[in-house]
Amino acid sequence: MKYFGGLALFVALVGCDFTVPISSTPETPWDAGAVGLWEQEGGEGAPARLVILPLDSRQLLVAFPVASPDTLYAKAFLCTNLPGLPLYQIEWIGSNRGLPATNRLVQLAAATLRDNTLEVRMVDPQTLGSTIQTSEELRLRLIHAKDAETLFRQPLRFRKVAASSP
């Protein structure tokens, strides 16, 4: 079982949660298993699609929901400054409609990749308390709350779409 933390960017539908990043420097390479086209499980109607692509050796580019007038784009990387809490930092950089209309541009997520299923759990900012002003304050609150049952929202599940032959 492999863990991904901030891939939850696709949960942009929930909205961005933090005005400060947990980290400013991507230091850890991403796992190649995360790259590809994913379909959300359990939704109503046609499944929403998520695309995860390499941005560079340490960051991913995420688009969700794909093929929509409201597609959102983010870059994500694994945060290494949270002992025992592997989280990806997701920074929303724009949409098909332009730049984000909010200053709350960061989300944090943990995710588990098993076989062809990606489960994403977004950090629930309400568990961390009042408005967070600095990256260090965010880091310390996350470490303090890492075992709280309410740290994460309900998980989102995605199934990898098999690559088709040309």
Does 88 map to a domain? yes
Does 74 map to a domain? yes
Does 142 map to a domain? yes
Does 126 map to a domain? yes
Does 71 map to a domain? yes
The enclosing domain of 149 has a CATH number of 2.40.128
**DSSP summary character for residue 152:** B
Does 165 map to a domain? no
Domain that holds residue 51: 2-160
**Cβ atoms of 51 and 70 closer than 8 Å:** no
> Is the full-model pTM beyond 0.85?
no
| Range 117-132 burial, b when 16+ CB lie within 10 A, else e | ebbbbbbbbeebeeeb
CA nearest neighbour of 140 among 19, 45, 22, 54: 22
Does 102 map to a domain? yes
**Cβ atoms of 43 and 152 closer than 8 Å:** no
Beta bridge partners of 4: 111
Tokens coding 20: 């400060």
| pLDDT, tens only, 15-61 | 568 888 888 888 888 888 899 999 999 877 788 999 999 999 999 99
Q: How many angstroms separate the Cα of 97 from the Cα of each of 17, 51, 94, 101, 117?
A: 20, 18, 8, 10, 30
Does 166 map to a domain? no
Q: Averaged over 66-93, what is the pLDDT?
A: 87
Q: Above 90 in pLDDT, residue 8?
A: no
Number of domains in the chain: 1
Tokens coding 95: 């949409």
Q: How many angstroms separate the Cα of 47 from the Cα of each of 38, 104, 158?
A: 9, 27, 9
| pLDDT, tens only, 131-164 | 899 999 999 999 999 999 999 999 999 999 987 6
